[in-house]
Amino acid sequence: MTISSRSENSESARLYVKFCRYIVRKMKETGRGQKQFKSSASLVMYFLKGSTGFFLLSMVFASAVSFLDMVLPGMISFTVDSVIGDKTPNLPASVLLWFENAGGVELLRRQPVLIAVSVIAVALTGAVFRFCFRYFNEVAAERFVKRIRDESFAKILRLPYAWHGANSTGDIIQRCTSDVETVKVFISEQLTSLIRVVVLIAMAIRFMWMIDPFMTGIASIFIPVVIGYSLFFYAKIGDAFEKADTEEGRLSAIAQENLTGVRVVRAFGRERFERERFEKQNDYYTGFWIRLMRILSLNWVTGDVMTGLQYLIVNIMGAVFCVRGTITAGQFIAFVSYNSLLIWPVRSLGRVISEMSKAGISIERILYIMNAEEETEPEGALRPPMDRDIRFEHVSFGYSGDSGEALTDVSLEIPAGATVGILGGTGSGKSTLMYLLEKLYPLQEGCGRIMIGDADLSDISNSYVRSQIGMVLQEPFLFSRSIEDNIAITSRNYRREDVRRASKTADLLEAVDRFPSGFETFVGERGVTLSGGQKQRTAIARMLIRKCPVMIFDDSLSAVDAETDARIRAALRKDTGEATVILISHRITTIMHADRIAVMEKGRVMETGTHEELLALGGIYRRIYDLQMNETGEEVQDE
């Protein structure tokens, strides 16, 4: 194939990729791209999938319980007026005919135990229905909250690296725990009870109306009053809860930072400072909750006053009407019972409205996560061989979104199979280069490009790139598992021999063999039981076991001594085979034997060449070399 035909094929592939991008962009514009929720209600409905049926069943049983609650006062009224007294039963004609054929009031007077049995049967049936209501409601609630946790956790894993940098871990945990629990409580204990509340109110008013319409009107006047003051407190509770929830997230972030960085706090004697910082934030957070509780207390006290006033007026008016003979004693007892049943749902309706403001804030905080823009695979993502030359072509990058802050017009070639060292001080941009190569941050259009062979990195699958490029950071993260689990976490099918071989290359095997439990040694949270050098070597072994075609060591030997550094570098030269190795360091001895070295300063590549060429150049590299080496050629150790 000629050079001309290869370039034509490359241009055709580029046009095809652009066409695929256009198609996917249009799909997103028509709503078939990443799922976006237009409102909190749509998000709740999405989370309710899989639990809606159980919630409906719980509502059915709740309605049945409400009906049976209405039956008992009627039975008491009937007993007092018709069985004990001589009033004709107030029953529908068909029911009255059946009742008389069955023996009527005379039978109940001769066998009063039948009344007791009927009351017990209704109570037991109500207890069974109440159990079913609670059971199905709890099953639905747990399914509901499980779906929220699963979906939100999966969503967080799909979010870009930059999003995690912009949002604190404590706040994310707060949204996925406390806010989820608030939404669960509202849906399972407040919203699902709304049907029961409405049924109870409707039935209570209906039965009370049958006894006395005037007294029913007096009792019903308080319903709009309760709804009115609940709406008044609605906005106040929402604002206060949002502030308290935000401050709780900051408090969680402080606690999380100190628990994970406890060794640093102890090492620098910062216990008092961190305690005072925590207590200050805790006082601030507590103050918000006290203000919120003050508003809630006013809401509850207002409800208590309205409830007591309604109960008092209804009892006084009922007693007056009973003395006048407008209603019977049985009707008075039944009406008071119905009014007592009416008070609870009316208060519950008010509480649902007030609690809705808290749940609304929590749902919006979860909505923030669910509507965050996900990291997406390139349209028509490529999966080319990664054992090719790597080229940075006029790359500029800034973390704030503007180009030229971290990197400015960087051009660098890394030959396939070579060992390349990148030297630079803090803030020189050397780590940023590798973050871009790993596609942890997107390279904006017009800011250069990164090529792997003939393929543009922006066109290659994100997951494929990360599976082919191994990276060891200066501050490696270890999970709360055994050493073997941490090393083999990147490999699905591994053997103990693979773990030992990788550990030997990383100069970790001898240290592990000295542990009583060997590779089964539990390293603790973030590897707290290991030294800094042991953690770095564990991370190196974890990367080596993957046998990636590209391996990046980002200052990952900074915590080991010079002798160990030399042994690891020698083992890497022997065991990495044809892999492309990129060594990032501020220490000359780590990179001096590399095939090619690039020196970076202030986001630019200032010098490139071999160790000897750069020394002869007499520039930045030479100056750093002279600073780090003493007269005998040995590295100067920091005290």
* Per-residue pLDDT at 198 exceeds 80: no
- Where does the pLDDT of residue 31 fall: very low under 50, low under 70, confident under 90, or very high at 90 and above? very low
- Residue 76 above 60 pLDDT? yes
Specify the DSSP class assigned to residue 87: P
For residue 204, pLDDT beyond 80: no
- pLDDT over 60 (residue 633): no
pLDDT at 437: 92
3-state SS of 493-523 is CCCHHHHHHHHHHCCCHHHHHHCCCHHHCEC
Quick one: pLDDT band at residue 89, thresholds 50, 70, 90?
low
Q: How far apart are CA 6 and CA 218, in angstroms?
A: 90
What's the one-letter identity of residue 367?
L
pLDDT at 520 over 80: yes
The set of residues, in sequence order, having a beta carbon less than 8 Å from that of 580 and lying 6+ positions away, is: 387, 390, 414, 415, 416, 417, 418, 419, 420, 549, 550, 551
CA terminus-to-terminus distance, the chain = 60
Are the C-beta atoms of residues 147 and 49 closer than 8 Å to each other?
A: yes
pLDDT for 12? 46
The CATH class of the 40-370 domain is mainly alpha
pLDDT band per the 50, 70, 90 thresholds, residue 404? low
Residue 119 has a pLDDT of: 80
- Average pLDDT (502-512) is 86
Domain boundaries, the chain: 40-370, 390-628
**Cα separation, 67 vs 289, whole angstroms:** 39
Distance CA(193)–CA(170), nearest Å, equals 33
The whole-angstrom separation of Cα 168 and Cα 508 is 33
Mean pLDDT (the chain) is 78
Question: Can you tell me the mean pLDDT for 60-75?
Answer: 77
Identity of the highest mean pLDDT range in 102-111, 144-153, 515-524, 538-547: 144-153
List, for residues 283-313, the tens digit of each pLDDT value. Answer: 888 887 888 788 778 877 777 787 778 778 8
Q: How many CA atoms lie less than 13 Å away from 100 in the CB half-sphere?
A: 9
Task: Determine the average pLDDT of the residues in 564-586.
Answer: 79
CATH H-level, domain 390-628: superfamily: P-loop containing nucleotide triphosphate hydrolases (3.40.50.300)
Angstrom distance (rounded) from CA 294 to CA 283: 16
Where does 314-440 show beta strands of DSSP type E? 390-397, 407-414, 419-424
Distance CA 104, CA 288 (A): 64
What average pLDDT does range 42-70 have in this prediction?
85
pLDDT(571) > 80 = no
Measured between alpha carbons, how far is 259 from 525 in angstroms, rounded to an integer? 10
pLDDT surpassing 80 at residue 610: yes
CA-to-CA distance for 161 and 150, rounded, in angstroms?
20
* 465: nearest Cα among 475, 480, 455: 455
Letter string b/e over residues 56-65, b meaning 16 or more CB atoms within 10 A of that residue's CB: ebbbebbbbb
Contact 129, 65 (CB under 8 A): yes
pLDDT at 431: 86
- Residue 338 CB-density burial (10 A; 0-12 exposed, 13-18 middle, 19+ buried): buried
Mean pLDDT of 34-45: 84
pLDDT one-digit tens code per residue, 320-357:
887 877 777 777 777 777 777 677 666 666 667 667 77
